[in-house]
Chains A and B, each alone.
Chain A
Amino acid sequence: TIARDPLRIIILIAGAFFWLVSLLLSSLIWFIAVKASDPNDEPLQKGLLIFGVMFSVLLQEAFRFLYYKLLRKAIEGLVALSEDGCSPISIQQMAYVAGVGFGLMSGAFSMINLLADALGPGTVGIYGDSQLYFLTSAFMTMVLIFLHTFWGILFFHGCENRRWWEIAAVVVMHLAVSGSTFCNPLYVGSLVPSYMLMAIAATWAYLLSGGSAQNVRRFLLCKSCSVTGTWYLAGLVPSGLPGRSWVSAGGHRVVSVGG
C-alpha cells in the first residue's frame, strides 16, 4: 500500500527519520544521565534506564506531533500546487504512512541486531535467562510496529479534530506498553497487555478511518453480494465516534486505510 506511491515512500522515510531523531535525543539525555551517575550502582542504572524509556516515549510522541505539523504544512503546499485544488494524498493516508514509518524504524532498531546475532552460533538463555528470548522479542517488536501504525492514525485524527483526549490516550497507551515491558522476562505481563492494547487501538483506528462492522462482515463474507444496493446489513447501526461521516445508508463504503 505504500510502495506504489512515491510520495508515500518519502513520507515513510521522513517518518522513520523523525523517530530516529527522537531516539537520538532521548538517548543523549540518557547518556548524560548515565555518565553523571555512578556506573556501579545497579538499581540506579536500572532506574535511569526506566527513566530513559519513559522520556523516550514522551519524546517520540512529541516528534509525532512535530511530524504532524510538518505534514499539515506539506498538505497545504501540495494543495496550493495542485491543479484541481486537492492534494494527491490525504491526511489520513499520511497518518497511516507516518505510523508505519515510525513503526518500521522502531522495529528495525529493536530487532536487527538481534537478528544478526541470531545468524551466528550460540545458545539462547544459557545463563539462566529466558529461552524464549528471540521469540518474545519478535512478538513484542511486531506488536509495537502495529501499535505505532495505529497510534499514527489515532494521533493524527486527534490533532485534526482537536480531540486532545485522543492524543492523551495515545500517549498513555504508549507509556503503558513500554511500561509493561518492564516486567520482562515475565512475558505474560508484557505481551498480553500489549496485544490487548493493540486490538483496542486497531479497532479504534479502523473505526476512525471510516470502517464499520458492516464493512468487515462484507469483506469477510461476501465477495459475491457486492452489488450496490443490496444491503442486508442495512439495519446495523454503525458504531464509532460521533461526528464522523459514516456509511450512508445503502451505500458501499470500502475502508481503505492508507489506500
Chain B
Amino acid sequence: MTELSAHLPQFQHGQLTENFPDNHLSNTQESMASALFNTDQNDNSERRRHDNSERRRNDNPESEINGQPQNNIQQVVEQDEEEDEELTLKYGAKHVIMLFVPVTLCMVVVVATIKSVSFYTRKDGQLIYTPFTEETETVGQRALNSILNAAIMISVIIVMTILLVVLYKYRCYKVIHGWLIISSLLLLFFFSFIYLGEVFKTYNVAMDYITLALMIWNFGVVGMICIHWKGPLRLQQAYLIMISALMALVFIKYLPEWTAWLILAVISVYDLVAVLCPKGPLRMLVETAQERNETLFPALIYSSTMVWLVNMAEEDPEAQRKASKNSTYDKQALANQAQNEDAEADDGGFSREWQQQRDSRIGPIESTPESRAAVQALPSNSQTSEDPEERGVKLGLGDFIFYSVLVGKASATASGDWNTTLACFVAILIGLCLTLLLLAIFKKALPALPISITFGLVFYFATDNLVQPFMDQLAFHQFYI
C-alpha cells in the first residue's frame, strides 16, 4: 500500500508520457488514475498500517479490559478475563464475518465488472510506473522487464511511504489531508465517471450528459461527505467498498500480467517487513500515532463498527481542555451511548463512526491531535465502561484493493476461469481468517496482506495449471469426484 502511495506524488506532478491510444480521456485518465491510486495506495497503506494498529488497539480493549495481555490462561483467571477471552473469540468470529462481507462484496463487484465490461481487460497501455513492456520476443526478456517494473513500482512505493511517515512525524497534517482529499475527489468523481461510461457502453445504454453529470455529482458529493465527514455507517462502508473496487479495476487494467503477480508478491513481503520490523516505516507510523494518541487517517480505513468514545470524554484530560470540542464530543458521546444501547444487536449504530471520523478529521486539521484520541489508540483508557459489543475491526482499504486485484486478475486472465476465481476467493478468505486469528492471539499490529496474498497466489497458480486440466478432463468424461 505504501508503495503505491509513493507513486502518487510523482503522478501528481503530471507526467503524461504514456502511450494510451485509448479514447480521448485516456491521457488524463491515466495520469489521474495513477495520481489517484497513488494517493489512495498511500492512504491505503497508511490505512492498513493504521488499521493494523487499530485492530490491535481494538483488540487490546477486548482482551485487556483489565489492562492485561490476552493470554491470561496461565494467570489467575478472573471472570472478567475469561469473559474477555471468550468474548474475543466470539467477537473474533463475528469480526471475521464483519470483514468477510465487505471483502466478498468488493471482490464480487470487481469480478462482475471484469466479466462484463471489456474495458478493464483491454490492454490500453501501461502506467508510467511500469515503463517496461511485456510484449517482448523472449520469455527471458519478459521476465526481466516485469522484474524491473515491479522493482520500480516497489521503490516508488517505499519512497512514498517514507515521505508520508516524515510528513506525519513533522505534523504536516494539512499536506496529508489535502492529499487525501484530492485523491478521494479524483477517485469518486473521475474514476466513477469512467466506470459508468464503460458500463453504459457495454450495455448499450444511451445517456445524456446532463443526467450523467447529475448522477456523478451526487454520487461524488455524498461520497466525500460520507467518507471524510459524517454519514451513516452502512453508506460509508458502501462507498469505501466502491472506491476500493474502482481502484482495483484500474490496477487490473493497467498492470501487465507478470508485473502484476510480481508486484502482489513483493508488496506482501514489503507489508510484512514494514509492519513487523522495528525500523519499518509502517511500524514507525503506527508507533508515532500511538504516542500521540490519535488515529491515522480514518477516512481511508474500512471500519466495521464504531468505537465507543464515551470513555475518552471522561478520562481524557486533554479532551476536556478543549471546551468547544468537548461540548460536541460529549454530545456525540451521549448520542453514541444512547445509540449504543439501542443498537445492541447491530454493529454498533451509526454515529460512532461519525464521531470517530469527525474527531480524527477535526483533530489533525486543528492541529490538536492530543485531544483526539480514539479508543483504539488508548487501550489503557478504555476500560470498564466500554461495551465489548462496540469493538469493531478495521481493515485498510489497500488490503481490499489488493485482494480484489488478485481475484480480478484471476478471473480476467486465468484459463480455468471460474474455478480459479473461486479458489482464489476461498484462499483469500481463509488467509483473512488466519490473519484475524493471529491478531487475536498477538494483539499487535499485523499486516493483512501476506498470508492472504500468499494463499491466493499459490492457489491461483496451482489451480490454473494443475486443477484446471484435471477438472476439464473430468467434465469432459462427466466423471465426478
Contact = CB atoms under 8 A, between A and B. Distances in A.
Nearest to A144: B480
Interface in B395-443: 416-419, 422-423, 426-427, 429-430, 433
Contacts of B475: 110, 113-114, 137
Interface class of chain B by DSSP: helix
A116 B470 CA distance: 18
A45 B472 CA distance: 13
A48 B198 CA distance: 46
A40 B290 CA distance: 65
Contacts of B481: 23, 26, 53, 56-57, 60, 106, 178
Contacts of A31: 465-466, 469-470
Interface string B465-477: 1110111011101
A70 to B, nearest CB: 12
A219 interface: no
A90 interface: no
Contacts of B430: 13-14, 17
A234 interface: no
A24 to B, nearest CB: 5
B181 interface: no
B467 A23 contact: yes
A20 B417 contact: no
Nearest to A49: B473
Given A23-B467, A24-B467, A27-B467, A181 B478 contact: yes
Contacts of B422: 105, 108-109, 112
Contacts of B144: none
Interface in B447-481: 459, 462-463, 465-467, 469-471, 473-475, 477-481
B206 to A, nearest CB: 25
Interface residue tally on A, bucketed by range: 35 or more
Contacts of A105: 422, 426
A17 B425 CA distance: 10
A53 to B, nearest CB: 5
B134 to A, nearest CB: 27
B89 interface: yes
A133 interface: yes
B433 A14 contact: yes
Interface string A44-76: 011001101100110010000000000000000
**Which of A16, A57, A185: most chain B CB closer than 10 A?**
A16
A185 to B, nearest CB: 7
A24 B477 contact: no
Interface string B202-246: 000000000000000000000000000000000000000000000
Contacts of B90: 88
A123 to B, nearest CB: 17
Interface residues of B, number: 42
A113 B479 contact: no
A83 interface: yes
B480 A16 contact: no
Interface stretch (B91-99, B248-256, B377-385): B91-99
Interface stretch (A4-12, A204-212, A242-250, A251-259): A4-12
Given A52-B470, A105-B426, A83 B82 contact: yes
Contacts of A56: 481
Interface string A141-152: 100100000000
Contacts of A30: 470
Contacts of A14: 430, 433
Contacts of A50: 479
A141 B479 CA distance: 11
A20 B473 contact: no
Contacts of A178: 479-481
Contacts of A230: none
Contact of A10 (B83, B97, B477): B97
Interface of B: 73, 79, 82-83, 85-86, 88-90, 93-94, 96-97, 100, 416-419, 422-423, 426-427, 429-430, 433, 459, 462-463, 465-467, 469-471, 473-475, 477-481
18 contacts: A7-B93, A9-B100, A13-B426, A13-B429, A14-B430, A20-B459, A27-B467, A30-B470, A57-B481, A78-B89, A81-B85, A81-B86, A81-B88, A83-B83, A110-B480, A112-B418, A113-B475, A181-B479
Given A17-B426, A81-B88, A181-B480, 19 more contacts: A6-B96, A10-B93, A10-B97, A13-B433, A14-B430, A27-B470, A49-B474, A49-B477, A49-B479, A110-B474, A112-B422, A113-B417, A113-B419, A136-B478, A137-B475, A141-B480, A178-B479, A181-B479, A184-B479
The 8 A-B residue pairs with the shortest CB-CB distance in the complex, in nearest-first order: A27-B470, A6-B97, A184-B478, A6-B93, A112-B418, A7-B93, A181-B480, A56-B481
